[in-house]
Structure formats: structure tokens, C-alpha cells
Structure 1
Amino acid sequence: MIDPPYAAYEAAAPYFDLIRRAVGDLVDGEHFFDVVSDDIVYEVLYELPGWPRSLKGRRDLMAAFRGYVDNIALQSAGELIVHKTDDGGGIVIEYEVRGTIIATQVNYENRFCSIIRFENKKIVYWRDYMDSLAAWNALVARAEIVP
């Protein structure tokens, strides 16, 4: 269940829960937005209309995710694999999400690989890779008309 301050992000709860599980005791805080630093750098190495390539700060990250949850409702996130870095200051995670494009009710499935760095028990850096074509196909697909 999402805490009241984050209730607007309920559609991404499976993702937030998976990430919180992945980072475990490497960070302090309960919710995804609690475990990122105020000045996090969040980069995405893909082109997706409406999502910036780089965000700086928790506030901008929260605003970007607000757009995400206005368009995609996740039903699950799983297939988590966590790789710890040799220096102990980060992890690399692989995972999948499944959901629905809200406007069209088209199924959405995607795979991700994220590189995460920590300082002072907070996430300070995030670099994200995903299957851009899967996202694009889901976003531009039209709902099937069932007779």
C-alpha cells in the first residue's frame, strides 16, 4: 500500500516495491521517493516522447513519474536480478514490468537494466536502459475493437 504522500503514484506501486526490495538495506527510507537523494541524477539512455533524458533532483523525478502514472498503470514488476558492484557503492538490476496503457487499455510489457549508485544510504545516481521499441509499440497501439 502506498503512503498518503505518494497516493498519486499508486499506478507505479509494483515498480516502487520492486526497487525498494532490490536496494534493501543499502538505503534508508520506506518508499522509492524516500530512498533517493534530494539531488539525485536520473538518466535514461533511450528516447521516449515526454520523458527527459536526464533529471536532477527528487522534485523533478517525482514530476516525471507523475506523467508516467497518468499514462501507464502497472499490474506487476518482477524477474528481479541484482548484481552488486565490486566497490560496494552500487548495484545493477534487471527486471520486467507489466501493465496497461491507460488511454487505450493496450497491454504494456517491458524489460529494464538500471545502474544505481549510493552515498550516505541514499540513491544518488540512476542510469536506466529499457526496450524502447516495446514502450513505443505499446504507446502508439490502438485498442483492439472486440465485436
Structure 2
Amino acid sequence: MSKTKYAAYKPAAPYFDLVRGALGDLVDGEHFFDVVTDGTVYEVRYDFPGWPRVIRGRTDLMAAFRGYVDNIALQSADRLLVHRTEGARVVVIEYEVHGTILATGATYDNRFCSIIEIENRKIAHWRDYMDSLAAWNALTAQARSAAAPTAAS
């Protein structure tokens, strides 16, 4: 990952590196943000507070990920499966990420499946599916533990 150009996104580096590696020589650019354009559509197929269902263009995607890295620091991304279809124009990746919720220190582990359409050696469309419950549980861990009854209650 470019150390200076995308330094603010270092907390998501394991994700970016995994995706970039999964796409290999199908796209041009060193970093994840180098392989998206102003025409890229990044669509999430889940409702999650604070994250838009559709993000259009590189600038808005970078802004959304800036919010992500302000809240979650990933330590790793793994369990990658790559499926190439339609002459490698469509790539399906399955993977997991592991990290920490910065506000609470809670562990964050999640599973994803992403369908990526490539045009002109760039990401044209991204459809993302994740374990929304895993994300919700990690982000609300402190609130749940504070509200849970104790043995002394």
C-alpha cells in the first residue's frame, strides 16, 4: 500500500491489500483506491446505520472509508476465496476481516461476499454482502455489557 498517499486509511490496510491481491492483474493500480474511478458504483446489500446503501465515485468512497477507519482498526483479513466468472469480467470474493472497534476496544470479526464487475481494468460496480449481525454486535458490545444484569443484581 502506498505509505503516504493513503496513510489516513492504514487501519483498513488488511482489507485493501486483500482486495487488491484478489483482483491481481485484472486491474491497474497499486492500491484499492487506484482501481476505482469517478464512475465506480459501490453498493452494499444491507442496511447499516451510518453507511449509505450506494456510494458513487472514488471521492465519496474515500470519504465513506474515512469514517470506517475512524471507528474500526483491522489487524487482518483472511480466508479469501476468489471466483472468476464471465471471462474474469466479474470476480466474486469471499473473505473475513478481524479488528477492533476503536471506541470500545471490542473485537470485530466479520464475513463478506463481494461481487466485483471490472471494466477497462478498473472496478465499475461493487456489490457487498456482510454479516450485519456480527458488525452490529461488535459496535454495540459496550452498550450490551453495561445493560446486562450482573450476578450481584
- Pair in the same fold by TM > 0.5: yes
When Rg is computed on C-alpha atoms for both structures, the one with the higher figure is: 2
Question: In 2, are the aligned partners of 1:2 and 1:13 still within 8 Å (CA)?
Answer: no
CA distance in 1, matches of 2:32, 2:87: 23
Partner of 1:30: 30
Segments of 5+ residues of structure 1 without an aligned counterpart are none
Partner of 1:92: 92
Deviations 1:18-59 (A, max 9, x none): 001000000000000001122100000111111000000000
Partner of 2:9: 9
Aligned length: 145
The one-letter code sitting in structure 1 at the alignment partner of 2:97 is V
Question: In 1, are the aligned partners of 2:45 and 2:128 still within 8 Å (CA)?
Answer: yes
Deviations 1:78-124 (A, max 9, x none): 00000011342110000000000000000000000000000111001
CA distance in 1, matches of 2:48, 2:140: 12
Question: In 1, are the aligned partners of 2:2 and 2:30 still within 8 Å (CA)?
Answer: no
Between 12-21 and 85-94, the greater mean CA deviation after superposition: 85-94
Partner of 1:46: 46
Q: Percent identity?
A: 70
1:4 is paired with a residue whose SS is: coil
2:93 is paired with a residue whose SS is: strand
Between 1-10 and 66-75, the greater mean CA deviation after superposition: 1-10
CA distance in 1, matches of 2:29, 2:69: 22
Segments of 5+ residues of structure 2 without an aligned counterpart are 147-153
Partner of 1:127: 127
Question: In 1, are the aligned partners of 2:45 and 2:53 still within 8 Å (CA)?
Answer: yes
Cα drift, residue 3 of structure 1? 2.5
1:30 is paired with a residue whose SS is: coil
Name the TM-score, length of structure 2 as normaliser. 0.91
Please tell me the root mean square deviation across aligned C-alpha atoms, in Å: 1.4
Question: In 2, are the aligned partners of 1:14 and 1:75 still within 8 Å (CA)?
Answer: yes
Q: Does 1:111 align with 2:111?
A: yes
